[in-house]
Amino acid sequence: MAVLWSKDVTLLAAVAATLAPFASFVLIMVFTRSHPRLSAGLSLSAAGISLICALALLAGHWDMPEPIQYSGNWLASGDIHIPFGYLLDPVSLLMLAVVAVIGFLILVYSLGYMAGDPGFARYYALMSLFLWAMMCLALSPTMFQLYVFWELVGLSSYFLIGFWYEKFSASQAGKKAFIMTRAGDVAMFVGVILVLLNLGNLNILDMDNPSIAGRIPQNLLTLSALLIFGGIIGKSAQFPLLTWLPDAMQGPTPVSALLHSSTMVAAGVYLFERLFPFFSLSPHAMAAGLAIGTISMLLASTMAMVSRDIKEIWAYSTISQLGFMLMGLDAGSFFSGAFHLTTHAAFKALLFLCAGVFIHKFATNDIFELGEKGSRNLRVPMVCTVIAAGALAGLPPLSGFFSKELILAGLAGLANPLWLAAALLGVFLTAYYAFRPIFIVLFPHHSTSSQKASSASPDSGHEDAHDQAAYRLMAIPLLILAGMTLLLGFFQYPLQDFLKYQYAYLGIPADRHYGWLPYVASFLAFGGVGVAWVEFGRPGAARVGFVERIPILFRLFSERWYLDHLYRYLLERVVDKGLSHIFAQNDNKVIDGSIDGLGHGTVESGRIIAFLHTGMIQYRLLAIFVVMVLLSLYFFF
Amino acid sequence: MIVPFSHVLFLGGILFLMGIFCSVTRRNLFMIVLGVEIMLNAAAIVFVGAALRWYDLEGQAFVLFVLAVAATEVSVGLAMIVYAYRRTGSVDPSTFDLLK
Amino acid sequence: MTFFTFIFFLLAIIIVVSTGLAITRRNLVHAIIYLVFSFLGSAMLFYLLGAPLLAAFEVIIYAGAIMVLFLFIVMSVKVDSSEEKMFPFSQLAPTALFGFIYIIIGVVVVVKAPGSYAILETAVATPKDLGHYTLASHWLSVEIVSLLLLIALIGVLCLGQNKKGKTEDKT
């Protein structure tokens, strides 16, 4: 294994794919920080190497009946061995490819978006770190290694969200993301420790083995599955830890694109896929996951319906789509979750990158302002946004339609029709909130101002060519991603074929097909679009959503269901006032009292034996020796 | 054959006691640290003897760590002695009785 | 009595006598020189017990670096040890008493323990074996020890940077 590693092409490719971004991170940080162009080149070429290796691995192992695992000892002390290696199976290869593709495209896009930023080199270094952490996470063979990179992903996203650290809100958002995900990570860590104590190792293949049910008692299995699911909740921004994600858009837009599509939040869903057999052994954990996915999906949809900030809308949509994925996975349909993760990565990156173009051009996040300033004149991003929003809404020939339909089919197979009803409501809401900003931007209310904007655009024509070059540079990744969004849906069967060996031993029944489901789903999606059109799109529309007419609901939704307030309140009341008060009381009365008592007692007893005790160090040494001798007397006789 | 294992234990024990004597009864900060060194050396001798007794390299590996700890201890201890000497001009432990 | 037994007793006598002389010297420099002899004896004992690498380390680190460090500091501090009160009774008496108990316990324990009469046969762990073993199975401990040394370095620098730059160099 380790001896032959240079001859083993697969391992070489895996090592190259995961090591290249890290090498570029180190090189940029150490040597080329003052040369932005060189740094970007390094980072791009590293991402390119990863992309080539990842695609080669995917192609080379298209038919892979057995997972391939490489591992070597990383740390050893006595009987403790901590292995380190790579685990290649369909799920991890698919994830690796998704991360590499999206990451590379976003790095290309960033050339235009971040041009001229003083932290250009730092930005590329951190992006490389981010990609490295995510790729290694995808290929981790043990939960320990996965946890290490899980935290590294969190760390690098903290750096990137707070990239413009001079801005107070950005550094606050970075801290919020870090601390809220940490709450979940603690739970996950405890869960992992529980597994370690009962199983003896943290090998993912061992954890996924059905025989684990015989090695861990059922309640402990459920408990650890729930605790690990806590980590997923934190990372994937599910209820109740969902408020960090909308704030995370304080970072540069390409960062949001990467964060929302394929790295940070996807890590949570990926972990669920990774441990899918483990979770499926515990029905309670699956039910809890289903409920949490549903709640966060609906909550985030309602929040997205009233927001005016384009990035915030897409951030809420990420939460709701992640909720969809978890619903699909928890319903027991493995492929639907994995497929939706893949399609979602493409169209969500596209949505954010398009939003980035608008923001770059018009320097505002507000959808109404964007519409008035004439965003519709930017043809490429506008068309791309419409395509991506269509995919998000699940409109028929786009990729989102296929994957969402699979999830719905999985939910329809459940005994309780409530979940399916909730998901169908979610489909309707998704279509509504996806097309609300589209219509607002596309058909600005004041046609005069739009005229003005379009007449102003020739003026901006003879702006410096630099801007045009940046725009063209940003357009290329958009077009590629749009193409992927259009076509990915038709790769459903090849992908299903590719993933069929994954967890084949579980005997997951093939997803049944419900002939009526696609029609209902697309009817609802078109219905959502239609409502959005009636309210915002058609000429002379009131441009007031139906939610906004009910003030209570509007305030509830736009204040994020008062979750932040609730947390703040809890933090102030329970932690600050309650616990701290108790602790302070404890400090004053119990600890101080006992310490004082101890001090007085020591002084008093010291006075009594002062003839022996001169406060000199050697008498303490002597006392240690005497106690040692007496103890050995006690122990040996 | 060399000697029974007990002889090595006796030698280590005697050296350890000497170290204790040195650090407990000598009124000199240097001698305290010196005594600690003697004790560590006694422990190292017993470890090496035990490694030979059971043909297990664990004992020898442990002596390596004992050496490292001894080096650390001496450097920090001597630095503290020099610091104390600069403040009081004495290395007699009975002058450091602020805690009394 | 084989040749090795003779060597063992010779080394034991050297070690015990020189250590005994070291701990009773009033002059610190003399004490340190005696202790160097004691450590050299220990190094040879390690060699006899089949640990050549440790013997080398004992000479280099204990007898070399640590004792020389002691010498430097003692000479730079210029301590006047003629006023030292050797073996004050209030410290000597309890130490002697409990030392005596300690010897009795030690002898009893060693005599009673079943395994302590096993005869040590000569064997050698080559430096290569020991190095392989340490780095293969005590990787983490080596890292921790290196961290400890780093912390000691920083601590010593902090303590020593006071006033005149008389910082101690460590081994």
Residue positions counted in chain B: 100
pLDDT at C10 > cutoff 90: yes
Run of H or E residues at C148: helix C139-160
Chain-centroid distance of CA A542 in Å reads 36
Q: Look at residue C139 in the predicted model and tell me its pLDDT.
A: 82
pLDDT band (50, 70, 90) for residue C171: very low
pLDDT at A363 > cutoff 70: yes
The closest CB to that of A76, out of C91, C105, C140, belongs to C140
Which one has a higher pLDDT value, A632 or C85? Answer: A632
Which one has a higher pLDDT value, A329 or A561? Answer: A329
Partnered with residue A421 across adjacent β-strands are none
Q: Is B12 among the domain residues?
A: yes
- Asked if the Cβ–Cβ distance from A632 to C98 is below 8 Å, we say no
CB atoms within 10 A of CB A554: 17
Q: Is B41 among the domain residues?
A: yes
Cα(B51)–Cα(A182) distance, integer angstroms: 46
pLDDT band (50, 70, 90) for residue B84: confident
Tokens of A95: 């994830």
Q: Which fold has domain C1-79?
A: Four Helix Bundle (Hemerythrin (Met), subunit A) (1.20.120)
Q: Is B54 among the domain residues?
A: yes
Cα(B65)–Cα(B69) distance, integer angstroms: 6
Cα(A185)–Cα(A174) distance, integer angstroms: 16
Burial class (CB in 10 A: 0-12, 13-18, 19+), A63: exposed
Tokens of A12: 């070489």
User: Measured between beta carbons, which residues in chain A are less than 8 angstroms from residue B20?
Assistant: 621, 625
In angstroms, the first-to-last Cα distance of chain C is: 40
- Asked if the Cβ–Cβ distance from C123 to B17 is below 8 Å, we say no
Write down the mean pLDDT value for chain A. 79
Contact A131, A50 (CB under 8 A): yes
Tokens of A185: 């990570």
pLDDT tens, residue by residue, A479-502:
888 888 888 878 777 777 777 766
Contact A75, A159 (CB under 8 A): no
- Asked if the Cβ–Cβ distance from C116 to B22 is below 8 Å, we say no
Which one has a higher pLDDT value, A292 or A166? Answer: A292
- Asked if the Cβ–Cβ distance from C138 to A77 is below 8 Å, we say yes
The closest CB to that of C149, out of B48, B68, B85, belongs to B68
The closest CB to that of B68, out of C85, C148, C156, belongs to C148
Q: Look at residue C170 in the predicted model and tell me its pLDDT.
A: 45
Task: Say whether residue B26 is in contact with chain C using an 8 A CB cutoff.
Answer: yes
Q: What is the mean pLDDT of residues A414-418?
A: 79
The dihedral over CA atoms of A342, A345, A350, A353, expressed in degrees to the nearest 10, equals -160
Q: Look at residue A453 in the predicted model and tell me its pLDDT.
A: 45
Q: What is the mean pLDDT of residues A301-320?
A: 84
pLDDT band (50, 70, 90) for residue A611: low
pLDDT at C38 > cutoff 90: yes
Q: What is the DSSP letter of A163?
A: S
pLDDT band (50, 70, 90) for residue A117: confident
User: Measured between beta carbons, which residues in chain C are less than 8 angstroms from residue A632?
Assistant: 102, 105, 109
Tokens of A256: 């949001």
Task: Say whether residue B87 is in contact with chain C using an 8 A CB cutoff.
Answer: no
To test the contact with chain C by mutation, choose from B9, B11, B80 the residue with the greatest count of C C-beta atoms within 10 A, namely B11
Partnered with residue A86 across adjacent β-strands are A70
To test the contact with chain C by mutation, choose from B74, B88, B95 the residue with the greatest count of C C-beta atoms within 10 A, namely B74
User: Measured between beta carbons, which residues in chain C are less than 8 angstroms from residue A75?
Assistant: 139-140
Q: Look at residue A405 in the predicted model and tell me its pLDDT.
A: 83
Which one has a higher pLDDT value, A408 or A510? Answer: A408
- Asked if the Cβ–Cβ distance from B3 to C119 is below 8 Å, we say yes
Helix A90-113 vs helix A334-362: crossing angle, to nearest 10:
0
pLDDT at C98 > cutoff 70: yes
Q: Look at residue A472 in the predicted model and tell me its pLDDT.
A: 78
Q: Is B72 among the domain residues?
A: yes
- Asked if the Cβ–Cβ distance from A622 to B24 is below 8 Å, we say yes
Partnered with residue A84 across adjacent β-strands are A72
Q: What is the DSSP letter of C115?
A: G
Helix A417-442 vs helix A379-393: crossing angle, to nearest 10:
160
Q: What is the mean pLDDT of residues A310-325?
A: 86
Q: Look at residue A505 in the predicted model and tell me its pLDDT.
A: 66
Run of H or E residues at A71: strand A68-77
CB atoms within 10 A of CB A601: 11
Cα(A442)–Cα(A274) distance, integer angstroms: 41
- Asked if the Cβ–Cβ distance from B78 to C168 is below 8 Å, we say yes
CA-nearest of A387, A307, A310 to A347 is: A387
Which one has a higher pLDDT value, A462 or A63? Answer: A63
pLDDT tens, residue by residue, A131-164:
999 988 888 888 888 888 888 888 888 888 888 8
DSSP state letters, C119-131: BPPP----HHHHH
Q: Look at residue B45 in the predicted model and tell me its pLDDT.
A: 94
pLDDT tens, residue by residue, A14-26:
888 888 888 888 8
Q: Look at residue B43 in the predicted model and tell me its pLDDT.
A: 94
Residues in Cβ contact with A25 at an 8 Å cutoff, skipping those fewer than 6 apart: A125, A126, A128, A129, A132
pLDDT at A612 > cutoff 60: no
Q: How far is A606 from chain B (nearest CA, A)?
A: 9
| Long-range contacts of the stretch A116-121 (C-beta < 8 A, 24+) | A117/A252, A119/A163, A119/A164, A120/A36, A120/A39, A120/A40, A121/A28, A121/A32, A121/A33, A121/A34, A121/A35, A121/A36, A121/A39, A121/A40
pLDDT at A456 > cutoff 50: no
User: Measured between beta carbons, which residues in chain B are less than 8 angstroms from residue A616?
Assistant: 93-94, 96-97
Closest residue of chain B to A79, computed from CA coordinates: B58
- Asked if the Cβ–Cβ distance from B31 to C102 is below 8 Å, we say no
Residues in Cβ contact with A442 at an 8 Å cutoff, skipping those fewer than 6 apart: A371, A376, A382, A386, A537
Run of H or E residues at A153: helix A143-161
Q: What is the mean pLDDT of residues A603-620?
A: 66
Q: Rounded to 5 degrees, what angle do the CA atoms C85, C73, B16 make? A: 60
pLDDT at A571 > cutoff 60: yes
Q: How far is A126 from chain C (nearest CA, A)?
A: 27
Residues in Cβ contact with A188 at an 8 Å cutoff, skipping those fewer than 6 apart: A147, A150, A227, A228, A230, A231, A232, A234
- Asked if the Cβ–Cβ distance from C105 to A633 is below 8 Å, we say yes
Residue positions counted in chain C: 171
pLDDT at A462 > cutoff 50: no
Cα(A83)–Cα(A234) distance, integer angstroms: 26
| Long-range contacts of the stretch A387-391 (C-beta < 8 A, 24+) | A387/A347, A387/A350, A387/A482, A387/A485, A387/A486, A388/A347, A388/A348, A388/A350, A388/A351, A388/A354, A388/A481, A388/A482, A388/A485, A389/A351, A389/A434, A389/A435, A389/A437, A389/A438, A390/A434, A391/A343, A391/A346, A391/A347, A391/A485
The closest CB to that of B24, out of A613, A615, A621, belongs to A621
pLDDT at A593 > cutoff 90: no
The closest CB to that of B100, out of A615, A621, A625, belongs to A615
Interface of A with B (CB under 8 A): 613-618, 621-622, 625
Secondary structure class of A366 (helix, strand, coil): strand
Q: Is B95 among the domain residues?
A: no
Secondary structure class of C91 (helix, strand, coil): helix
Task: Say whether residue B11 is in contact with chain C using an 8 A CB cutoff.
Answer: yes
Q: What is the mean pLDDT of residues B34-48?
A: 94
Q: What is the DSSP letter of C168?
A: P
Q: Look at residue A460 in the predicted model and tell me its pLDDT.
A: 44
Which of A67-76, A219-228, C158-167 has the highest average model confidence (pLDDT)? A219-228
Q: What is the mean pLDDT of residues A30-46?
A: 84
Which one has a higher pLDDT value, A475 or A554? Answer: A475
Q: Rounded to 5 degrees, what angle do the CA atoms A381, A270, A142 make? A: 140
Contact A195, A202 (CB under 8 A): yes
- Asked if the Cβ–Cβ distance from A632 to C105 is below 8 Å, we say yes
φ, ψ (nearest 5 deg) of residue C168:
-80, 135
CA distances from A548 to A308, A393, A445, A532, A554 (A): 12, 21, 18, 13, 5
Q: Look at residue A577 in the predicted model and tell me its pLDDT.
A: 65
pLDDT at A316 > cutoff 70: yes
pLDDT band (50, 70, 90) for residue A450: very low
pLDDT at A513 > cutoff 70: no
CATH number of the domain that residue B73 is part of: 1.10.287.3510
Run of H or E residues at C92: helix C89-112
Q: Look at residue A454 in the predicted model and tell me its pLDDT.
A: 44
pLDDT at A342 > cutoff 90: no
pLDDT band (50, 70, 90) for residue A347: confident
pLDDT at A27 > cutoff 80: yes
Contact A326, A238 (CB under 8 A): yes
A67 prior amide bond cis, ω within 30: no
pLDDT tens, residue by residue, A326-335:
888 888 778 8
- Asked if the Cβ–Cβ distance from B67 to C61 is below 8 Å, we say yes
The parent domain of residue B45 ranges over 5-89
pLDDT band (50, 70, 90) for residue A359: confident
Contact A284, A226 (CB under 8 A): yes
Write down the mean pLDDT value for chain C. 86
CB pairs under 8 A between A and B: 29
User: Measured between beta carbons, which residues in chain C are less than 8 angstroms from residue B70?
Assistant: 61-62, 66
Number of domains in chain B: 1
Residues in Cβ contact with A445 at an 8 Å cutoff, skipping those fewer than 6 apart: A368, A371, A372, A543
Q: Look at residue A252 in the predicted model and tell me its pLDDT.
A: 85
In our burial notation (b when 16+ CB lie closer than 10 A, e otherwise), range C90-101 reads ebeebbeebbee
The closest CB to that of A629, out of C101, C136, C138, belongs to C101
Closest residue of chain C to A636, computed from CA coordinates: C109
In angstroms, the first-to-last Cα distance of chain A is: 55
CA distances from B53 to A130, A271, C10 (A): 53, 50, 20
Q: Is B97 among the domain residues?
A: no
Cα(B81)–Cα(A270) distance, integer angstroms: 57
φ, ψ (nearest 5 deg) of residue B16:
-60, -45
Q: Is B46 among the domain residues?
A: yes
